[in-house]
Amino acid sequence: MNPETLDMSSASTAAQRIGAALRSADIVDLSWSLDEHGPVFPGQEGFVFEKLGDVNDPDLPLCFNQLSFMEHIGTHMDAPAHVIDGGRFVDELPFAELAAPAFKLDLTERCGGRADYDVGADDIARFERDHGRIPDGSIVLLHTGWDARYVAPERYVEVAGDGSWHWPGLGADAAEMLADRAVRGVGIDTIGLDGGHVAMTLAAHRAVLGTGAFILENLANLADLPPRDTFVIAAPIKTRNGSGGPSRVYAFR
């Protein structure tokens, strides 16, 4: 048998399997659209959208725009290099590491709208009692319910009168627990994985990114996912030496 024919046949079979899976899958978009009204991390510049071209322009009938934004805006990925000296940049993460089975922790009742709620190791232990141990190589999604505030940036990123920040996050002990599980990524529906009141400790960031995994922040529609039996693909913008970037994130359930 001709090896080239065999390779092409195998590729065709794989493509057919993927196509069939996509046609039968129920797909949930976990991403917010970027716009000039979205929330930003305190002190960062917002998203800027400038329209430059229009299809009705007789000289250049093309629609095109100019965008300006920080790497960590909207639904986005943090690559290890974001906080780890010598960590991989976003363009160095291969596709095989950006797609994996996913497990969602529903923490909405536990959080209860509390801005300083930290997901604890007990929350993960409770989930594992009900659904089994989180396997290595998986993506863990933390649904605090905070995404309901995304369209109201001043409520999504709370800044108190004394200048302190407040939003839910992943506690240091729970972050270490997930790092021990060798997860491939951790996502959350808030502006940052570390809660606002402890944001600059970067404890959760260092624990997760220190293993070579990635972080997804500002996720949407986590309420639409079951606790397990989903598959997630995270596709960040590919910027050379980028510490992260806006991402399209899909869940297949």
Q: What pLDDT, on the 0 to 100 scale, is given for residue 23?
A: 86
Would you say residue 189 lies in a domain? yes
Length in residues, the chain: 253
Q: What pLDDT, on the 0 to 100 scale, is given for residue 9?
A: 64
Backbone angles phi, psi at 161, to 5 degrees: -60, -30
CA distance 133 to 126: 10
Which residue range is the domain that position 131 belongs to? 28-252
CA distance 223 to 108: 9
Q: What pLDDT, on the 0 to 100 scale, is given for residue 68?
A: 97
Q: What pLDDT, on the 0 to 100 scale, is given for residue 127?
A: 98
Would you say residue 82 lies in a domain? yes
Would you say residue 185 lies in a domain? yes
CATH number of the CATH domain containing 134 = 3.50.30.50
Q: What pLDDT, on the 0 to 100 scale, is given for residue 24?
A: 85
Would you say residue 6 lies in a domain? no
How many distinct structural domains can be found in the chain? 1
Mean pLDDT per block of 10 residues along the chain (253 residues) reads 54 84 90 97 96 98 98 98 98 98 98 98 98 98 98 98 98 98 98 98 98 98 97 98 98 96
Q: Who's near 25: CB < 8 A, 6+ residues apart?
A: 252, 253
Q: What pLDDT, on the 0 to 100 scale, is given for residue 12?
A: 81
